[in-house]
Amino acid sequence: MSTPVVASPTGFDLPTAQKRAILSMVCLGFGALFIGIINGLGQALNYASVDILQYFPGMRDYYQGLTVHGVVNAIVFTFAFANGFLALTTSRALARPLNATWLWVVFGLMVAGTLLAGYAMATGQASVLYTFYPPLMAHWSFYLGLALLVVSTWVTTALIFIALRSWRKENQGERIPLLAFISAATYLMWTVASVGIAISVVGLLLPWSLGLIESSDPLLSRTLFWYSGHPIVYFWLLPAYVSWYVMVPRHAGGTLFSDSLTRVVFVMFILLSIPTGFHHQYTDPGIGTGMKALHGALTFGVFFPSMVTAFTVLYALEIGGRRRGGTGLANWFLKLDWKNPALVAQVLAMLTFTLGGITGLINASYNLNQAIHNTAWVPGHFHMTVGSAVTMSFMGIAYWLIPYLTGRQLVGRGMAVLQSWIYFAGVLVMARGLISGGIDGMPRRTNMLEAAYSKPSWELAGMLTGLGGTLMFVGGMLFFAVFAATLFFGKKTDEPMDLPLTTTHHPPKTRGWEVKLDRFRYWLVAMLILIAVAYGPFLVQYLPAAFESPPYQFY
Amino acid sequence: MADSQHPLDAERIEKVFLIITAVMLLTFLGALFYSAFGMGMHLPDREEQIDVREVRDTPPFDEPGVRQVGDNEYEVVLLGYAWAFQPREIRVPAGAKVTFIATTTDVIHGVHIEGTRMNFMLIPGQVARVEGTFREPGEHLMICHEYCGAGHHIMYGRVIVE
Ligand code: HEM
Ligand SMILES: [Cu+2]
Ligand SMILES: [Cu+2]
């Protein structure tokens, strides 16, 4: 038997019932994003001293909206898309159906979670932002809703690994198809990572909000949050990486450079995503500088897989551009298929991610972090990562995924391409505003319109934020127009469709150390050891926890 | 090997790429190491813990304010609560060594003295201790930069360097 290239070579079409479940997840995700983007416009304009939030029905204050923006964008949208997309890629790569009932369970958990958290946020009983640091207390349904959203990802993990196990039984001694390997790696990482948030939410905050526990330990909950809160950014990112590694080369007409290198990158994310959470707590009292430095150094380790990704992606694009007649140092870039919306969205996403990565490196830089921590710089940074690199990639994926799942052709290709450019321009302008304001001390998470203080030099920063945010909003709305038109009015085709899958320049090895890359068990053990090293000393020193902080509802 | 289907000698480029990566990584880490230990730019460390319910009765937080503690050394005992700082106005001379000893009486707050590297969190039960020197005379906003409830945006103070 030959070893598959990136996915089972026999071809495989998902049964209709499963396509429906996955389509429902993707629609839930983009539905959440729709609400999130409307709120985003309100926030960006608020920084420009324009108050449109007052016209939002039921909106009590800025922070209620900001909570919604964070939760629906960073949690509901990303989780729903990842659950659907990576269930699909696993199933396709292994050429086996998943359990349709359980796929619907995943969807149901997400709907229930979104409704519960949504109820608390909409009624103004959970204006605690998406980080929900105690002792600010939200309504119990907020915590329960978040817990169900996390559980939905665990069920997806189970689905993925059950499929992988049965595949292995039938294909002993073979390499796991690359696409399945990187999908499973993403969920393995996140499942171990999400334990922190789960302990905090289910073990401490939910009973606390129900009155079963009287007090909280803010530093402990904050630490548990960031134990999950850094790796969550890779859980947002890795589904986009799956596409960048395995699908974008196909769109571009290029090829994936190396199977082994790709697996190494994902293994490094398994190992290095979690033991780095203190880089979000550099300025916290209560945590020793030695541990902060250790987490900082490990964070820099992620620089390596990031640069490998840059190399691999550039390789694929350059090969594609040259095969299309590109020459010289940069002309190949212009020769890419700039009419293919799936490609355009993701190439632009990669460009913003370059800036997102550089600003992220600055955030991670230990004492340099003090210059920008909790200033507007930070949302400037992450709208170039999750807010555009990830979001635009998911939009780009949707341009082939919705046709694949519905059997309908994409409506409005031209508008889809335009949409990406507008969103791209918007995020660059908004980030320029937020970043320059942040360097100048302008805070994040702040209702600037009603703030008791200001600086004249923040005015330009605020205006750019508002202008860029408006462009992003327009780009986003054009996306939803294409999305809805395709869903409802796209022309039905009977042509069989498949996922856009690349071939590999250096295919998987069947002998040598590379074979061991497939042993998830090893990586799980190594990951747990690193976590123990990174968090053990702190916990030993810190525990037993001091549950002394009474709850507050200052909103 | 380059040919028409693979018009790049990618293996060689990859090696160069990875070497550049390693050099950059080591340079960055070296610079950070130097700035922290060579130039003494430290992050807040682990200090003592206190009972958040009794902050106002626990020294030194029973007397928030600015005190001269040495020749050219000052101590600022700072409290954050919803939604103000105590003291609201801090006056220190330029060039003096200033140590902030700070905590919160209720929820999490933050302190950023805009235009400086003074940037730290106030976490219930934890004492933050941060040292620094204001070199030039002037005024800085002292902003609460962590969301602390509906009045978060009115929580600020001033540092006046004389
Ligand atoms: C039209 C598009 C968008 C606009 C105009 C926008 C605007 C903003 C602005 C101005 C802020 C800062 C608010 C503050 O700190 O006071 C913000 C925060 C945030 N945004 Fe967006 N955003 C958009 C889309 C997105 C997307 C697509 C995501 C993620 C998928 C996202 C995730 C976040 C998160 C996690 C925060 C932080 C919330 C917090 O501090 O609690 N945004 N957004
Ligand atoms: Cu992080
Ligand atoms: Cu505040």
For residue B114, what is the domain's CATH number? Answer: 2.60.40.420
* pLDDT for position B13: 84
Least confident of A332-341, A506-515, B1-10: B1-10
Please compute the mean of the pLDDT values over residues B1-10 and round it to a whole number.
63
* pLDDT for position B1: 42
Least confident of A249-253, A327-331, A523-527: A327-331
User: Which residues in A lie closer than 8 A to residue B13 (C-beta atoms)?
Assistant: 311, 315
- Amino acid B67 reads R
Q: 3-class SS at A73? A: helix
Residues B113, B155, single domain; the answer is yes
Stated pTM of the model: 0.96
Q: Who wins on pLDDT, A147 or B45?
A: A147
User: Which residues in A lie closer than 8 A to residue B154 (C-beta atoms)?
Assistant: 450-452
- Omega before residue B60 within 30° of 0, cis: yes
CA distance A126 to chain B (A): 11
Of B47, B107, B147, the CB nearest to A552: B107
Residues B60, B115, single domain; the answer is yes
What is the CB neighbour count within 10 angstroms for residue B5?
10
Ligand minimally distant from the alpha carbon of residue A296 = 2
Is B8 contained in some domain?
yes
Residue of B119, B120, B122 for testing the chain A interface, max A β-carbons within 10 Å: B119
Split at pLDDT 50, 70, 90, the class of B127 is: very high
Cα B149 to middle of ligand 1, angstroms? 18
The pLDDT mean for chain A works out to 95
Residue of A62, A66, A125, A133 for testing the chain B interface, max B β-carbons within 10 Å: A133
pLDDT above 70 covers a percentage of chain A that reads 99
* pLDDT for position A4: 47
* pLDDT for position A2: 35
CB A411 within 8 A of CB A486: yes
Q: Report the candidate in A132, A546, A544 with the shortest Cα–Cα distance to residue B125.
A: A546
CB A34 within 8 A of CB A475: no
* pLDDT for position B5: 60
CB A11 within 8 A of CB A4: no
The reply to whether B150 touches chain A by the CB within 8 Å rule is yes
Is B153 contained in some domain?
yes
Residue A229 predicted with pLDDT over 90: yes
The reply to whether B30 touches chain A by the CB within 8 Å rule is no
Q: Domain limits of chain A? A: 15-542
> Which residues does a 6 A CB cutoff place in the pocket of ligand 1?
A 36-37, 40-41, 43-44, 47, 66, 69-70, 73-74, 77, 129-130, 379, 383, 386-387, 391, 444-446, 465, 469, 472-473, 476
Q: A446 and B145: CB-CB below 8 Å? A: yes
Residue keyed to tokens 């948030």: A197
CB A234 within 8 A of CB A269: yes
Q: A135 and B106: CB-CB below 8 Å? A: yes
Cα A175 to middle of ligand 2, angstroms? 32
- At B70-122, the pLDDT tens digits run 999 999 999 999 999 999 999 999 999 999 999 999 999 999 999 999 999 99
What is the CB neighbour count within 10 angstroms for residue A70?
19
Please identify, by atom number, the ligand 1 atom nearest to the C-alpha of residue A444: 15
Q: 3-class SS at A376? A: coil
Residue A437 predicted with pLDDT over 90: yes
Dihedral sign (CA A195, A196, A199, A201): negative
Tell me A513's DSSP state. G
Please compute the mean of the pLDDT values over residues A316-340 and round it to a whole number.
92
Say how far apart CA A137 and CA A157 lie, in whole Å: 30
Residues B75, B27, single domain; the answer is no
- At B129-149, the pLDDT tens digits run 999 999 999 999 999 999 999
| Number of alpha helices (DSSP H) and beta strands (DSSP E) in chain A | 21, 2
- At A86-133, the pLDDT tens digits run 999 999 999 999 999 999 999 999 999 999 999 999 999 999 999 999
Residue A400 predicted with pLDDT over 50: yes
Residue A1 predicted with pLDDT over 50: no
Indicate which residue's Cα is closest to atom 21 of ligand 1: A40
Residue B125 predicted with pLDDT over 60: yes
Q: B141 and A292: CB-CB below 8 Å? A: no
Split at pLDDT 50, 70, 90, the class of A3 is: very low
User: Which residues in B lie closer than 8 A to residue A222 (C-beta atoms)?
Assistant: 108, 123
Is B2 contained in some domain?
yes
CB A305 within 8 A of CB A265: yes
CB A366 within 8 A of CB B43: yes
Cα A436 to middle of ligand 1, angstroms? 17
Residues B22, B83, single domain; the answer is no
> Which residues touch A412 (CB under 8 Å, ≥6 apart)?
A481, A482, A485, A486
The partner residues of B77 in beta bridges, in order of sequence, read B65, B101
Residues B138, B65, single domain; the answer is yes
Both structure tokens of B46? 């682990």
- At A59-95, the pLDDT tens digits run 889 999 999 999 999 999 999 999 999 999 999 999 9
Residues B27, B57, single domain; the answer is no
Q: How many angstroms separate the Cα of A457 from the Cα of each of A352, A426, A525, B44?
A: 26, 21, 51, 29
Angle between helices A458-489 and A413-439 (to 10 degrees): 160
pLDDT above 90 covers a percentage of chain A that reads 91
Split at pLDDT 50, 70, 90, the class of B6 is: low
Residues B110, B57, single domain; the answer is yes
Is B47 contained in some domain?
no
Residues B58, B3, single domain; the answer is no
CB A538 within 8 A of CB A532: no
Dihedral sign (CA A14, A20, A25, A28): positive
Residues B31, B60, single domain; the answer is no
Residues B35, B112, single domain; the answer is no
Residue A457 predicted with pLDDT over 90: yes
Q: B124 and A293: CB-CB below 8 Å? A: no
Residues B65, B10, single domain; the answer is no
Residue A327 predicted with pLDDT over 60: yes
What is the CB neighbour count within 10 angstroms for residue A172?
6
- At A468-505, the pLDDT tens digits run 999 999 999 999 999 999 999 999 998 888 999 999 99
Both structure tokens of A140? 């119990």
Q: Report the candidate in A3, A6, A64, A5 with the shortest Cα–Cα distance to residue A35.
A: A64
Q: How many angstroms separate the Cα of A204 from the Cα of each of A129, A212, B52?
A: 18, 9, 18
Structural domain harbouring B8: 1-42
* pLDDT for position B97: 95
Q: How many angstroms separate the Cα of A119 from the Cα of each of A138, A139, A394, B10, B19?
A: 11, 9, 27, 53, 52
Residue A269 predicted with pLDDT over 80: yes
- At B36-68, the pLDDT tens digits run 888 888 888 888 899 999 999 999 999 999 999
Domain count within chain B: 2
Residues B32, B60, single domain; the answer is no
User: Which residues in A lie closer than 8 A to residue B53 (C-beta atoms)?
Assistant: 548, 550
Say how far apart CA A468 and CA A425 lie, in whole Å: 7
Please compute the mean of the pLDDT values over residues A376-390 and round it to a whole number.
97
Q: A370 and B146: CB-CB below 8 Å? A: no
* pLDDT for position B2: 54
Q: If you classify domain A15-542 with CATH, what class do you get?
A: mainly alpha
Centroid of chain to Cα A217: 28
Residue keyed to tokens 């801090």: B90
Percentage helix, strand, coil for chain A under 3-state DSSP, each rounded to 5: 70, 5, 25
